[in-house]
């Protein structure tokens, strides 16, 4: 298979300026220049480093568990009123600078014709995994409109946060979708995986089918992201959670072209893109070639080294080890300080964890991190 070359975008934000954001034809929230989170995504100066957390609405939070007692995960995702409430509650309780819409990476599977469920303790399960070129040919790309419930939830969150907060800042609203590789891995493996044997086998042995799968995913994801932007998402985060399973050569040959195409398509909707994966230290220079405005760093790479690898003309998001939230206040404060020092006050840093908050995490720890970031910025 020929190695496609991906043109390096030197202006990663696809010329997204604050004015584009404010004037984009959505009529919805348009935080744009009034949001320190959005400004940081565009590497513009901010009054202080914005902070939010991956999986900030999740099982560690009693308010979420109270809702989960009465509804399944999918019911919450598909009820815009409840999804919005869960999103808003988490953001307000933590005092963060951005709210990520409550949804799940796998929702697009349903409109593509794949049934799945979340099995307690085991994670997602796709009932009939995709294994052949015929399976891929059968995937539908014409029903992305049926994902409109996510956009509807974003509309409600945007309406709630339309007013600036007490400090004059407008909370950033994050929409999201999976990246083609990570979604393909769930489709092909049928769930979580250790070695990605089925995924890589299909990628290596049936490159044309793999290519078709990437393209079909991108069609659906591009439309899905547009719905979210039109409803009021200020930024789209693309989760490539399991890209770290790939060698640099495989990432470059089989994954980068489709991912870069998705990033460009989403930027074409007029918003910055955050591109995130786990265990990506060696992939960072290649991930940068997607053209994403901001690259999410996991905690295994020191933030300064990660930013160097990504290049200082991109933003970075991260990268406290989520398990640090189980440490005592002193060590936690020290680790937050280290991340902030490594960021060195450069524009384009968004404070976050290196991956999602895990169940059992003390909520006070997450709240403390927000305080520590503010304290550090205040000098
Ligand atoms: O505030 C938030 O970030 C919550 C919104 C959110 C969820 N899933 C809800 C959810 C987001 C951003 C996701 C993305 C997601 N989903 C990813 C990418 C993020 C990452 O962690 O890298 C992935 C890989 C998935 C797929 C998925 N969904 C898995 C692997 C699991 C099981 C995880 C487990 O620990 O059991 C889920 C379920 C899920 N999605 C939960 C939540 C809050 C927990 C289960 C529940 O509430 O029943």
Q: Which two tokens stand for residue 1?
A: 């298979």
Q: What confidence score (pLDDT) does residue 107 get? A: 98
* 209-226 pLDDT, tens digit each: 999 999 999 999 999 999
Q: What is the CATH number of the domain that holds 72?
A: 3.20.20.210
Q: Mutate which of 70, 96, 104 to test ligand 1's pocket (most atoms within 8 Å of Cβ)?
A: 104
Which residues, judged by CB distance below 6 Å to any ligand atom, belong to the binding site of ligand 1? Answer: 54-59, 68, 73, 90, 100, 102, 104-106, 118, 123-124, 176, 192, 239, 241, 356
Whether residue 303 lies inside any domain: the answer is yes
Q: What confidence score (pLDDT) does residue 122 get? A: 86
32: region left, alpha or beta (phi > 0 left; psi from -120 to 50 alpha): left
Distance 104 CA to ligand 1 centre (A): 6
Q: What confidence score (pLDDT) does residue 27 get? A: 36
- How far is the C-alpha of 226 from the C-alpha of 197, rounded, in Å? 33
- How far is the C-alpha of 228 from the C-alpha of 209, rounded, in Å? 29
* 180-218 pLDDT, tens digit each: 999 999 999 999 999 999 999 999 999 999 999 999 999
The CA dihedral of 109, 112, 115, 117, to the nearest 10 degrees, is 10
Which atom in ligand 1 lies closest to the alpha carbon of residue 278? 22
Q: Which of 43, 55, 314, 335 is catalytic?
A: 55
Which atom in ligand 1 lies closest to the alpha carbon of residue 176? 12
How crowded is residue 371: how many other Cβ atoms within 10 Å of its Cβ? 14
Distance 296 CA to ligand 1 centre (A): 17
Q: Note if 68 is an active site residue.
A: yes
Q: Which of 24, 43, 60, 186 is catalytic?
A: 186
Whether residue 34 lies inside any domain: the answer is yes
Q: Which of 48, 104, 300, 321 is catalytic?
A: 104
Which atom in ligand 1 lies closest to the alpha carbon of residue 102? 5
Atom 42 (ligand 1) nearest CA? 58
Average pLDDT over residues 153-161: 98
Atom 48 (ligand 1) nearest CA? 73
Average pLDDT over residues 344-356: 98
Distance 317 CA to ligand 1 centre (A): 19
Q: How far is CA 230 from the centre of its chain?
A: 18
Q: Note if 55 is an active site residue.
A: yes
Q: Note if 186 is an active site residue.
A: yes
Whether residue 7 lies inside any domain: the answer is no
Distance 226 CA to ligand 1 centre (A): 21
* 71-130 pLDDT, tens digit each: 999 999 999 999 999 999 999 999 999 999 999 999 999 999 999 999 988 899 999 999
Whether residue 123 lies inside any domain: the answer is yes
Distance 55 CA to ligand 1 centre (A): 7
* 229-248 pLDDT, tens digit each: 999 999 999 999 999 999 99
Average pLDDT over residues 256-274: 98
* 22-54 pLDDT, tens digit each: 334 333 344 567 899 999 999 999 999 999 999
Residue with tokens 């870069």: 260
- How far is the C-alpha of 56 from the C-alpha of 64, rounded, in Å? 10
Whether residue 148 lies inside any domain: the answer is yes
Domain that holds residue 331: 24-378
- How far is the C-alpha of 340 from the C-alpha of 152, rounded, in Å? 36
- How far is the C-alpha of 99 from the C-alpha of 54, rounded, in Å? 10
Distance 360 CA to ligand 1 centre (A): 15
Distance 68 CA to ligand 1 centre (A): 13
Average pLDDT over residues 147-171: 95
Atom 9 (ligand 1) nearest CA? 104
Atom 13 (ligand 1) nearest CA? 104
Q: Is the pLDDT of residue 19 over 50?
A: no
Domain count, the chain: 1
- How far is the C-alpha of 60 from the C-alpha of 55, rounded, in Å? 9
Helices and strands (DSSP H and E) totals, the chain:
17, 9
Q: Which of 59, 131, 140, 374 is catalytic?
A: 59
| DSSP 3-state of 183 | helix
Is the bond preceding residue 319 a cis peptide, omega within 30 degrees? yes
Q: Exposed e or buried b for every residue in 162-193, given b needs 16+ CB within 10 A?
A: eeeeeeebbbbbbbbbbbbbbbbbbbbbbeeb
129 contacts: CB under 8 Å, gap ≥ 6: 187, 188, 189, 190, 198
Q: What confidence score (pLDDT) does residue 32 get? A: 63
Q: What confidence score (pLDDT) does residue 23 get? A: 37
Using the 8-state DSSP alphabet, how is residue 251 labeled? I
Whether residue 271 lies inside any domain: the answer is yes
Distance 9 CA to ligand 1 centre (A): 31
Q: Note if 104 is an active site residue.
A: yes
| C-alpha pair distances (Å), 2 with each of 88, 216, 253, 264 | 47, 20, 8, 22
Whether residue 12 lies inside any domain: the answer is no
Average pLDDT over residues 281-309: 98
Q: How many angstroms separate the first and last alpha carbons of the chain?
A: 54
Atom 22 (ligand 1) nearest CA? 241
Mean of per-residue pLDDT scores for the chain:
93
Q: Is the pLDDT of residue 4 over 70?
A: no
- How far is the C-alpha of 161 from the C-alpha of 179, rounded, in Å? 27
* 245-254 pLDDT, tens digit each: 999 999 999 9
* 0.85 surpassed by pTM: yes
Atom 47 (ligand 1) nearest CA? 73
Whether residue 50 lies inside any domain: the answer is yes
Q: Is the pLDDT of residue 1 over 60?
A: no
* 119-142 pLDDT, tens digit each: 988 899 999 999 999 999 999 999
Q: What confidence score (pLDDT) does residue 379 get? A: 86
Q: What confidence score (pLDDT) does residue 377 get? A: 96
């Amino acid at each position: 298979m020929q190695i496609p070359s991906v043109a390096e975008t030197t202006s990663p934000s696809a010329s997204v300026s604050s004015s584009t954001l404010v004037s984009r034809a959505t009529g919805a929230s348009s935080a744009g220049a009034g949001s320190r989170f959005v400004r940081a995504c565009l590497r513009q100066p901010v009054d202080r480093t914005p902070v939010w957390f991956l999986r900030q609405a999740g099982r560690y939070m009693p308010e979420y568990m109270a809702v989960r007692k009465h509804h399944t995960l999918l019911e919450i995702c598909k009820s815009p009123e409840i999804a919005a409430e869960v999103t808003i509650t988490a953001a307000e309780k933590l005092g963060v600078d951005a709210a990520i819409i409550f949804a799940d990476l796998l929702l697009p599977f349903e409109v593509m014709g794949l049934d799945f469920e979340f099995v307690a303790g085991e994670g997602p399960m796709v009932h009939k995994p995709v294994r052949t070129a015929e399976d891929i040919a059968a995937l539908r790309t014409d029903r992305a409109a049926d994902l409109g419930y996510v956009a509807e939830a974003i509309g409600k969150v945007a309406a709630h946060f339309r007013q600036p907060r007490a400090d004059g800042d407008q909370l950033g609203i994050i929409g999201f979708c999976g990246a083609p590789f990570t979604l393909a891995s769930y489709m092909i493996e049928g769930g979580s995986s250790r070695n990605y044997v089925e995924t890589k086998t299909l990628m290596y042995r049936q490159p044309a089918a793999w290519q078709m799968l990437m393209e079909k995913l991108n069609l659906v994801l591009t439309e899905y992201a547009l719905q979210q932007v039109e409803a009021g998402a200020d930024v789209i985060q693309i989760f490539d959670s399991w890209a770290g399973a790939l060698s640099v050569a495989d990432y470059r040959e089989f994954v980068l072209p489709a991912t870069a195409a998705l990033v460009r398509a989403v930027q074409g909707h007029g918003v910055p893109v955050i591109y995130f994966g786990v265990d990506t230290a060696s992939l960072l220079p290649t991930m940068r070639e997607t053209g994403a405005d901001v690259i999410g760093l996991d905690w295994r790479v020191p933030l300064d080294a990660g930013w160097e690898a990504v290049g200082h003309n991109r933003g970075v998001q991260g990268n406290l080890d989520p398990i640090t939230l189980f440490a005592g206040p002193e060590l936690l404060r020290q680790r937050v300080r280290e991340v902030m020092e490594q960021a060195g006050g450069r524009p384009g840093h968004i404070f976050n964890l290196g991956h999602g908050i895990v169940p059992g995490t003390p909520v006070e720890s997450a709240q403390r991190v927000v305080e520590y970031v503010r304290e550090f910025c205040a000098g």
